[in-house]
Amino acid sequence: MSSAVGPSALRELAARFGPRLERSVPLAPLTTFRIGGPADFFLRVHDADQLAEAVRAARELELPYFLLGSGANILVGDRGFRGLVIHNAAGGIRFLDDMRVQAESGVLVFHDLIDATVARGLGGLHHFVGIPSTVGGAIWQNLHFLSPAPARERTVFIEEVVESCTLLTQENEIRTVGLDYLRFGYDYSILHDRDDIVLDVVFRLDLQPVEDLKRVMMENLAWRDEKHPDLWLYPCAGSIFKKIEGVGAGRLIDQCGLKGHVHGNAQIFHKHANIIVNIGGATAADVRALIELAQTTVERELGYRLETEIGMIGEF
């Protein structure tokens, strides 16, 4: 297993970042799956300037790099990542006026941003209570939640409260963009197709009574408790497969009798078949085996092709 970082790039990286540059850092604890080998090189950034500097350095030195948020939508391979992992802890939150808040991209939507905005009676982000995500990860995937309360039953997307986004573009320019540029869709933003990095986001929220916001949050959390794994007991990455309109990937897997199926130390979650959980010491290979089993069985028995929603990072 040889590193993708040559000696001269490594010297340059060490000269620029000094002791902040770490080596052979295990990635499993930085993911909600608790799975994955080490990053050869690792740098934690604490504000948007440091984030832009780290990405620019990796690009100049032509190093493979990966920007890690809260690691809630990825599976890291057992052999880890050959290159530089940049861990985004840029956590600044600034209220611009009564309705608008600017958050750096490493801010945790839950709890930090939701707590700060709800405390001021600002609604919009509160729907996403209980979902692990940084602001950057939420823009990448257009974070969404199917509101369970009968009166409000609809999918709420984070794009609804995004006013603008400051990016380090793939051309290395700092640029503020709006919704037209971001081209949000279901589980999609332009970030899937361009190597742009979100530095910060301005959200425009609604003034609402705090009790109303808290009631919705309690309802959403109760729904999650019933359907979703408790991450402490069952580390996972949320839904594994993309939505299939009108059918539901989980329902198809369930129809094939795979709910609860175990491979190694990974399990197709017994309460929700579109989630794979780590039942203690699972490897990425265990998870991949279950993914392949679900895909081949559903295609053979029901004729649907399941596509993964989560990112596969590093070497497997």
Ligand X SMILES: Cc1cc2nc3c(=O)[nH]c(=O)nc-3n(C[C@H](O)[C@H](O)[C@H](O)COP(=O)(O)OP(=O)(O)OC[C@H]3O[C@@H](n4cnc5c(N)ncnc54)[C@H](O)[C@@H]3O)c2cc1C
Chain residues in the site for ligand X (CB under 6 A): 32, 66-74, 88, 105, 131-134, 136-138, 140-141, 143-145, 191, 197-198, 228, 231, 236-238, 311
Q: Which helix (H) or strand (E) holds 254?
A: helix 249-255
Q: What is the nearest approach in angstroms of ligand X to the Cβ of residue 31? A: 7
| DSSP reduced 3-state for 224 | helix
Q: What is the nearest approach in angstroms of ligand X to the Cβ of residue 23? A: 21
- The token duo for 245 is 């309109």
Which lies closer to ligand X via its Cβ, residue 299 or residue 315? 315
Q: Under a CB-based contact definition with an 8 Å cutoff, are residues 292 and 222 in contact?
A: no
Q: Angle between the 48-60 and 7-17 helix axes, to the nearest 10 degrees?
A: 160
In whole angstroms, what is the distance from residue 115 CA to residue 226 CA? 23
Q: What is the nearest approach in angstroms of ligand X to the Cβ of residue 36? A: 11
Q: What is the nearest approach in angstroms of ligand X to the Cβ of residue 230? A: 9
Q: What is the nearest approach in angstroms of ligand X to the Cβ of residue 207? A: 25
Which lies closer to ligand X via its Cβ, residue 9 or residue 72? 72
- Going through the chain in order, the beta strands assigned E by DSSP cover 22-26, 38-45, 65-68, 74-76, 81-88, 93-95, 100-104, 122-123, 144-146, 155-157, 162-168, 174-177, 197-204, 206-207, 236-239, 262-263, 266-268, 275-278, 311-313
Which lies closer to ligand X via its Cβ, residue 53 or residue 299? 53
Dihedral angle sign, alpha carbons of residues 199, 196, 162, 248: negative
Q: What is the nearest approach in angstroms of ligand X to the Cβ of residue 8? A: 26
Which lies closer to ligand X via its Cβ, residue 277 or residue 297? 277
Which lies closer to ligand X via its Cβ, residue 10 or residue 197? 197
CA distances from 310 to 96, 138, 237, 293 (A): 34, 13, 7, 16
Q: What is the nearest approach in angstroms of ligand X to the Cβ of residue 12? A: 23
In whole angstroms, what is the distance from residue 223 CA to residue 136 CA? 25
Which lies closer to ligand X via its Cβ, residue 220 or residue 283? 220
> How far is C-alpha 12 from the chain's CA centre?
30
Which lies closer to ligand X via its Cβ, residue 9 or residue 182? 182
